[in-house]
Amino acid sequence: MKENPLPIIPRAEPATLRDGSTVLIRPITPADTGLVADIFAGLSPESRRLRFLTAKEELRPAELRYLTDVDHYDHEAISALDAATGRSAGIARYIRDRSDPATAELAVAVVDGWQGHGLGTELVTQLAERARQAGIGRFVALTAGTNVAMGLLLRRMGGTVISRAYGTVEYELPLKPPADGAPALAALGS
- Domain assignment present for residue 190? The answer is no
Domain membership of residue 2 (yes or no) is: no
Cα distances (angstroms) measured from residue 180 to each of 184, 189, 190 = 11, 11, 13
Q: What is the CATH number of the domain that holds 160?
A: 3.40.630.30
Q: Do 179 and 127 meet the contact criterion of CB atoms below 8 Å apart?
A: no
How do residues 35-44 score in pLDDT, each as one tens digit? 999 999 999 9
Mean pLDDT to the nearest integer, 160-169? 96
Quickly state the pLDDT bin for 177 (edges 50, 70, 90).
confident
Q: Is residue 113 part of a domain?
A: yes
Q: Contact at 8 Å (CB) between 187 and 158?
A: yes
Beta strands 100-110 and 138-144, pairing class: parallel
pTM as predicted: 0.87
Across the range 21-34, mean pLDDT stands at: 95
User: Is 4 part of any domain?
Assistant: no
pLDDT at 181: 52
pLDDT per position as a tens digit, 135-162: 999 999 999 999 999 999 999 999 999 9
Give the chain's domain count. Answer: 1
**Is residue 151 included in any domain, yes or no?**
yes
Q: Which of 51, 136, 52 has the alpha carbon at shortest distance from 94?
A: 136
Asked if pLDDT for residue 15 goes beyond 80, the answer is yes
- Does 166 fall in a domain? yes
* % of residues, the chain, pLDDT over 90: 86
Q: What is the pLDDT of residues 61-92, one digit of tens each?
A: 999 999 999 999 999 999 999 999 999 999 99
Residue 2 has pLDDT above 90, yes or no: no
pLDDT at 123 over 50: yes
Nearest to 9 by CA among 22, 23, 35, 28: 28
pLDDT confidence bin for 183, thresholds 50/70/90: very low
